[in-house]
Amino acid sequence: MTLSVGYKQLRKGRNSCIGFTYHITFTTHNRQPVFSDLYTARLLISIMHSDGISSKCDTLSFVIMPDHIHWLLELKEGEVSSLIQRVKSLFTKKHGRCIWQNGFYDHGIRSDEALIDVARYIVANPLRAGLVKNIKDYPYWDSSWLN
């Protein structure tokens, strides 16, 4: 498999540590607004909460945007790369077609960063994108702190 230069750059220096918290972002191919559809968005959320995924990480916050996902998680086992690959694979099998852009962005949360600030940033994405005027009007998000 030939990787694009951008994807190779994303993989440089990637290191997963059990017990660490990560802000993950991954997108649909060509930024197609696949998750504007209720069924598709709910399918992804159910996969993120499934036993095979929740046994590997604790979800702290997420938002499913029409063309990308932000996910704040604490890694419990394995590698972040394997976790994201598993989510994408499960979704592709259940949805019936691959919709994903290669790769993902991850940011390990440093101890001096406030997790609640990152969670607020994540769930405020629909507001910044102009999809809703109040986050309570957007159906595809959850947060340990902001319910």
**Which pTM was predicted?**
0.88
Residue with tokens 């440089």: 12
Asked if residue 110 lies in contact with residue 24, where contact means CB atoms within 8 angstroms, the answer is no
| Alpha-carbon Rg for the chain in angstroms | 15
Is the pLDDT at 112 greater than 80, yes or no? no
Q: With bands split at pLDDT 50, 70 and 90, how would you rate the model's confidence at 71? A: very high
Q: Can you point out the beta strands (E) in 1-147?
A: 21-27, 57-64, 68-75, 105-108, 141-143
Whole-angstrom distance, CA of residue 104 vs CA of residue 68: 10
Q: 123, exposed or middle or buried, with CB in 10 Å at 0-12, 13-18, 19+? A: buried
- 3-state class of 101 per DSSP? coil
Least Cα distance to 31 among 99, 123, 126, 125 occurs for: 99
> What domains, with CATH codes, occur in the chain?
17-143 (3.30.70.1290)
Alpha carbon separation from 128 to 14, 83, 121, 136 (Å, rounded): 29, 28, 10, 14
**114-130 average pLDDT score:** 95
Is the pLDDT at 73 greater than 70, yes or no? yes
Mean pLDDT of the residues in the chain: 90
> How, if at all, do strands 21-27 and 105-108 pair?
antiparallel
